[in-house]
């Protein structure tokens, strides 16, 4: 099991969290997804090495931008101010 963290910009409410989770959970190899709109943190457990491209693409599919936060935290650049339709 591998745990990988990403920083997602643009999430503002619990519906945002859910749309991100629902996309990412369908990525091959993903076991568990933790996401917080408050911190913008996305934590993904995979049964092998995380497929960054697929995970980031899934977040994009939900309407948000993700960057991998590997130690040196990638600046969660100016939020693209997405929304889920509920916020």
What residues make contact with Cu ion under the rule CB under 5 A? Answer: 13, 15-16, 84, 86-87
Q: Is the Cβ of residue 15 or residue 68 nearer to Cu ion in the bound state?
A: 15
Provide, rounded to whole angstroms, the least separation between the CB of residue 80 and Cu ion.
13
3-state secondary structure the chain: CEEEEEEEECCCCHHHHHHHHHHHCCCCCEEEEEEECCCCEEEEEECCCCCHHHHHHHHHHHCCEEEECCCCCCCCCCCCCCCCCCC
Least separation in angstroms between residue 81's CB and Cu ion is 11
Residue closer to Cu ion, measured from CB, 4 or 6? 6
CB of 74 to Cu ion, least distance (A): 22
Q: Which is nearer to Cu ion, 38 or 86 (CB)?
A: 86
């Amino acid at each position: 099991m591998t745990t990988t963290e990403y920083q997602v910009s643009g999430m503002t409410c619990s519906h945002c969290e859910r749309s991100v989770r629902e996309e990412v959970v369908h990525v091959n190899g993903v076991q568990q997804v933790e996401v917080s709109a408050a911190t913008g943190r996305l934590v993904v457990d995979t049964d092998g090495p995380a497929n960054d491209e697929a995970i980031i693409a899934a977040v994009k599919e939900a309407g948000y931008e993700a960057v991998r936060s590997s130690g040196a935290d990638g600046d969660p650049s100016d939020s693209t101010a997405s929304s889920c339709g509920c916020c």
